[in-house]
Amino acid sequence: MVGCCGATSPSKLRMDGEGEAAKTPTTPDEKKKQDDDKKGVTFDKDVVYRDSAAPPLQAGMSSPDRGRYSQTRPKAIPQFETGPAPRPADEVLNNDETAIIVVDFQHDFMEGGNLAVSGADYGKYKDDVVAFVEKCRGKGRVIVWSQDWHPEDHQSFAKNHDGGVPFTQKKLSRPKESGEIIDTDQTLWPVHCVQGSKGAEFVTEVREGEFVQQKGTMPPWDSYSAFMDDGGHPTGLADHLKNKGIKATVCFGLALDFCVYFTAKDSCQSGFSTYWIPELCRGIDPEFENSKYDTAGCYTITLPEANKALE
C-alpha cells in the first residue's frame, strides 16, 4: 500500500523568524525540547513522501556550485556534523545502519528519454544497477529511491518561459514563505519526469517496503537533492532515515553531476557518513570533476569493492 503525507519536521539547519540560525542544543533541556518538537511526525516504510505541502523556507545546506549548469541555493550556515572516517566497504554495506539511495533511476534520464544522460543505457548500465540493488536487498539493506516528479507547469521547463532555451540559465523571481520575492538562477531543461508519465516511471521495480522520495513537486522550485529543494524546503528524507536508525548512506544513479552529487552532498551535511559508487553513475557535464565529492565530504566505494563486500 502506497500513500502520501504532507508534513515534515525541521532539519538541523534552519532559518527562524528574523533570519537567525537555529541553535544546536547545548543542554539536556534544550535537546529534549528539540526532540519533542520532532514528535508526531512518523514515516511508514510503505509511504511515498511528496513535498507538495511546502514547509517553511529553510536555509539550504548545499551552497551554490557555480558551474556550467549552476543553481542558486540559499547559503549554508557552516554548522553541521561531519561523518566519521571512511570504513572498509564490507563494514559499510553489511551494516543495518546503512541505507542505499538510488537517485532518479527513471526512463526520461535513460537512453531515448527526454533528458537522456550519456551512457545511461538499457544494457550494461541498467544491468549493473539492478544487480547491485538486488544484492543489497539480499543483505536486508534499507533501500530509498528518489524520483523526479514534476507538474506540467514546473518552472525548470524551458517551454514554460517565453523564448526559453533548454540548457541555458534564466533569472527567476520566486516567493519565499514569508512572501518576500527573491531572484534566483534556474537552469532550463527539456520537459522531463512529468507526474504520471512513462518517463517519470522507474526503470526497474520498487518493492513493497522500499521508500520512494519524490522531489521537484512544487512548480517554483527545482530539486536536485533528495533531501531538500533549491528553495531550501526539506523533503523529510533526513528525518525518515534518522527515525530508522540510519547513520550512513551509499548513493548512486542519475546524474552524477546533478542529482546524485547534491543528494550525496546534502546527505553528508545532514550528518550521515556518505559514500558513492562512481561506476553506477552517469553524468551530463563532461567537465564535472569527481573530486567535488571529496570536497563535499563524501567517500568513494568502487563497484568491484562493493560487489566483493556483498558476496
CA distance 157 to 109: 15
CA distance 236 to 6: 9
Check 12, 65, 148, 215 and give the catalytic one: 215
CA distance 170 to 185: 6
CB 261 within 8 A of CB 226: no
Query: Apex CA 232: angle with CA 229 and CA 236, to 5°?
Result: 65
CA distance 26 to 28: 7
Active site residue 265: no
Strand pairing category for 20-21 and 15-16:
antiparallel
Active site residue 259: yes
| 3-class secondary-structure state, position 275 | strand
Strand pairing category for 142-148 and 98-103:
parallel
Contacts of 229 (CB under 8 A, 6+ apart): 51, 215, 216, 218, 221, 222, 223, 235
Active site residue 298: no
Check 259, 268, 281, 298 and give the catalytic one: 259
Check 51, 65, 104, 230 and give the catalytic one: 104
- Amino acid making up residue 109: F
Which residues are catalytic, by number? 104, 215, 259
